[in-house]
Amino acid sequence: MYSYLFETPMSESAERILEYPNKVTSKTTINEAIYVTFRRLAKEKGVTNIYDAKAFAKSQEGRLILKRAYSLVLELVNLSGIEIIEEEDDIETIMTVSEKFGLLPNDAIIVATCLKHGITEIATFDRDFEGIKFLKVIGG
């Protein structure tokens, strides 16, 4: 989503990926996209680290930028026909996935959600998902 919203070396690939049929995402993925979008927009205002980003989000200008980040990502989800699916919420399952594949919590939620729904392909430029045998990474 980020590479579609902002010019990056992966923007062309992101455009092609968003043309795929039957696209789904999760709340965790949306939240991560909103976060990185906010950080990018905040960086344009001179905010360069997580601590300043947290403080900036509390300011009037920061709240407007945060609202813009939500709008950009949610509009992309809606206009691209991406369905939001129910996430895996069983903490034991998420923990098992985290341990098995060496994933941080949000990535473990995403992989556990793929398992829950029988999803075998994931569109990402994040290398953390490489090497997970049941998932084919569709990226660059």
pLDDT in tens, 4-21: 999 999 999 999 999 999
Contacts of 122 (CB under 8 A, 6+ apart): 110, 114, 129, 135, 136, 137, 138
Question: What pLDDT, on a 0 to 100 scale, did the predictor assign at position 139?
Answer: 82
Q: Output the pTM of the full model.
A: 0.90
Average pLDDT across the chain, whole number:
95
Q: What is the mean pLDDT of residues 23-40?
A: 97
Share of the chain above pLDDT 70, in %: 99
Query: What is the per-residue pLDDT across 116-127, written as a single tens digit (0 to 9) for each?
Result: 999 999 999 988
Query: What is the per-residue pLDDT across 79-111, written as a single tens digit (0 to 9) for each?
Result: 999 999 999 999 999 999 999 999 999 999 999
DSSP classification of residue 110: H
Q: Which helix (H) or strand (E) holds 138?
A: strand 136-138
The phi and psi torsions of 25 (rounded to 5 degrees) equal -150, 175
Whether residue 36 has pLDDT greater than 90: yes
Q: Take residue 1 and report the two structure tokens written for it.
A: 């989503």
Closest CA to 114 of 132, 100, 95, 126: 132
